[in-house]
Amino acid sequence: MVEHNEQLIDAMRASVIRKAIGPTILLGSGTYFDFEDPESSEITIEDIAYGLAFEGRCAGQCFSRILHRRVFYSVAQHCFLMSLIVPPELRLQALMHEVGEAVCGDMTAPLKSLNPSFKAIEKRCEAAILNRFCITITDPVALKQADVRMLATERRDLLLWRGEKWSLNDIDPYDFEIIPWTPEQAAEAFLARYAELTNAQADYGRHIISALTLKNDPGNGGDGEADRLVDEAQFLLERLDDLDLDDDTDDLIRDWNGHVEPSIARLRAALSQHRKGSESDGE
């Protein structure tokens, strides 16, 4: 009876796996990711950003030393912060160093050490995604050193660590403190950082403002509703342009938290209000 039940469960589990082109998952962009052929994937940067933003570090077992409560801390925020602390030539690599987890999830290192087959699958997915975005890891040792220091920082700020011996004991954490963001904030920060590091920021921002201005032009049927959107988008771009990537990490994080994040929030609020107004007009 037990064997029969297990076979039934396996059959039901298999029924929800799309196997027309291999074992696949459906991504937020609407495309499929095939684990047996990750090289053919059409995964987008948004799939990566949101996949990592909704994936928790440390199996979700985070407790903020600063906030004095359990918190969610995303892989996307980990990658974003790491991209701020490495040398300029490694920043994009640091931002994208966990791309495999966008589709494979973040299995903890102790558990991963017991599952070599999973590690091999994850590494192949990671390599395929990095290749799709034309990213080559040029200094894996330097990236791993930064990653380990990030873990030491996360242990200090986000785990109920009481000083018991880890293999990290000789690794000093970074000076900055980590306050977790929401998944949405982490995804937006990841996308903005990617745009910045790939020199797409200015063109992307100009396209947004151009589209909003065109929509707002009375000659094109606009009624002036998008003025605030244009203003907020322009302000956000100015704040991004003001960021000095050569600043100390603490200064850079303060600038981000103090100027860029509030600007993103205002732009989001303006977009939300504009959408509500458009929906009301359509009723």
What distance in Å separates the CA atoms of residue 119 and residue 104, rounded to the nearest whole number?
Answer: 10
Across all residues in the chain, what is the average pLDDT? 81
In this structure, the answer to whether residues 149 and 23 fall within a common structural domain is: yes
Q: What angle do CA 84, 89, 94 make, to 5 degrees?
A: 50
- If one compares 177 and 251, the residue with the highest pLDDT of the two is 177
pLDDT interval class at 63 (50, 70, 90): very high
In this structure, the answer to whether residues 99 and 16 fall within a common structural domain is: yes
Encoding tokens for residue 17?
Answer: 């796996």
Q: For the full predicted model, state whether its pTM sits above 0.75.
A: no
DSSP string, 153-183: HHHHHHS---S---TTTTPPPPSS---PPPH
Give per-residue pLDDT as tens, 238-273: 666 666 666 666 666 666 666 666 666 666 666 666
Give per-residue pLDDT as tens, 202-233: 444 554 555 445 544 554 444 455 566 666 67
Mean pLDDT across 173-192: 94
- Indicate the number of domains in the chain: 2
> Contact, 193 vs 243, CB < 8 A?
no
Encoding tokens for residue 171?
Answer: 């690794």
Of 196, 193, 235, 245, the C-alpha closest to 212 is 235
In this structure, the answer to whether residues 134 and 214 fall within a common structural domain is: no
How far is C-alpha 45 from the geometric centre of its chain's CA atoms? 9
Q: What angle do CA 54, 55, 56 make, to 5 degrees?
A: 115
pLDDT of residue 22: 77
Give per-residue pLDDT as tens, 133-149: 999 999 999 999 999 99
pLDDT of residue 187: 95
What distance in Å separates the CA atoms of residue 205 and residue 196, rounded to the nearest whole number?
Answer: 11
In this structure, the answer to whether residues 208 and 153 fall within a common structural domain is: no
Mean pLDDT across 112-129: 94
For residue 65, what is the domain's CATH number?
A: 1.10.3210.10
Share of the chain above pLDDT 70, in %: 64
DSSP 136: -
Fill in the amino acid letter for 111.
L
In this structure, the answer to whether residues 117 and 207 fall within a common structural domain is: no
Q: What angle do CA 266, 267, 271 make, to 5 degrees?
A: 120
In this structure, the answer to whether residues 30 and 82 fall within a common structural domain is: yes
Out of 107-111, 193-197, 274-278, least confident range: 274-278
pLDDT of residue 110: 87
What distance in Å separates the CA atoms of residue 79 and residue 146, rounded to the nearest whole number?
Answer: 11
Given a cut of 70, whether residue 106 has pLDDT beyond it is yes
pLDDT of residue 198: 87
Out of 35-49, 154-168, 258-272, least confident range: 258-272
Given a cut of 70, whether residue 15 has pLDDT beyond it is no
In this structure, the answer to whether residues 238 and 118 fall within a common structural domain is: no
Domain end residue (candidates: 103, 138, 158): 158
Encoding tokens for residue 105?
Answer: 């999830």
Range of the domain at 12: 2-158
In this structure, the answer to whether residues 26 and 150 fall within a common structural domain is: yes
